[in-house]
Amino acid sequence: MSRVIGIGLAGFGTVGAGVYKNLLRNGPLLEQRTGARFEVRKIAVRDMAKPRDVQAPAELFTQSADDLLADPAIEVVVELMGGIDIPLAFVRKAIEAGKIVVTGNKALLAEHGAEIFELARDKRVPVFYEAAVAGGIPIIKSVREAFAGNRFEAIHGILNGTSNYILTRMTDEGLEFGPVLAEAQQLGYAEADPALDVNGWDAAHKAIILASLAYGFWIPPRDVLVEGIERVTASDIRFADELGYRIKLLATIKADEAGGIEVRVVPTLIPKAHMLASVGGVFNAVAVRGDVVGEAVFYGRGAGQDPTSSSVLGDLAEAAAFLQSPRQCVGFTSHGLYGRCKPVDRTISKYYLRLGVEDRPGVLAQIAGTLAKADIGILSVIQPEGLVDGSVPLVLTLHDAPYGPMKQTAEALASLPCVKGQPLLLHMETFS
């Protein structure tokens, strides 16, 4: 006979409702594959009267998440509340109570993963979190298990569907950021407040989780370079195209030869020939490069009710396996191969620099002279004809340089009388 496992859902929004719906639909399939029958025993919500697209029996609902923890028939709690403070308190109490935790809360893990997993180790309670990164793409399990025999040389990811949709539309239609953002909001791809999506921090939380899992220590958010897509223009996308690149909000995670870890999430020029350059719309993709496996690319929907609930169901299957055969706690394993973040100012990259300059002789010489003083070499120059907002665009691609000196040089260029407006500095990724 199948073992019955009681589930408590903390949150019944888009993903929570999807988990309940898909448990009903595919519960028999899960039972055949895992030998466990999952039963939702309680659902904690903030507003009992809120209309819901997915219906569940009224007796399952409670306004107190603590009711999930007090019920001995609930062995697994699924945290899908959103936010940080309330979920953090709930997850702490769940672990203390010996409940297996499944969560899709990327911000919670990025900010408090270290303490959560330390407590989980002490209490020998696993925490599963596949749904926290890249929706339905099984990247957490792959990094943690399938590539366990690899040293990770680099991980690159398009981890936010909203930003990727906006940049794709800007690329395909030559549109500016503002109108495409409004379109994304109308289609439901962007929230009414889209800040976390377009300013890079949604993707950065996911990058922190991936980097920490790959390199064995929790990456402090303060050590991650994060920039959004708000200042990218249709002209930048056109110039990048002429240079043979696409602009994507790219999460870059790298280890250097000395064991320093670099993590950044910034708009980045990607060569058109690379697979990540072709990832369009709301889709996500992650490219993992290991010293044994080489490069492996994962592609799929990075958000939405069904893709994300699919990852939660996978974690429930993992929880069933743990309950049937307890083993060393799973979720996050620290190791001593690495142990420090590379300071952002010392990270090295090629760059795209767009300036607005006066249309007169000697301007390019001034720009080149300022770059030369900083020992930054020029790879290429584009200077199209015609004024844009009273100045002429000047686009340069630049040789490898540390980010700190490069940023200071961009600020020095902005102070030149011949430069109008604020320069735009973007990274260029070669995947070498």
Distance CA 271, CA 277 (A): 7
Residue 206 is a catalytic residue: yes
Locate 38 and state its tokens: 């999952």
Amino acid identity at 401: A
Distance CA 353, CA 367 (A): 11
SS (H, E, C) 344-399: HHHCEEEEEEEEEECCCCCHHHHHHHHHHHCCCCEEEEECCCCCECCEEEEEEEEE
CB atoms within 10 A of CB 44: 25
Distance CA 166, CA 408 (A): 29
Distance CA 190, CA 298 (A): 23
Work out the end-to-end distance of the chain between its first and last CA atoms, rounded to an integer number of angstroms: 53
Locate 212 and state its tokens: 């920490």
Amino acid identity at 13: G
Phi, psi of 228 (to 5 degrees): -100, -175
Element (H, E) at 422: strand 419-428
Distance CA 307, CA 299 (A): 12
Residue 356 CB-half CA count within 13 A: 13
Nearest to 99 by CA among 66, 130, 132: 66
Amino acid identity at 289: R
- Matching residue, tokens 């395909």: 172
Catalytic residue of the set 42, 99, 106, 206? 206
Distance CA 305, CA 17 (A): 8
Number of H helices, E strands in the chain: 13, 17
CB atoms within 10 A of CB 60: 16
Locate 308 and state its tokens: 């994300």
Residues marked active site are found at: 206
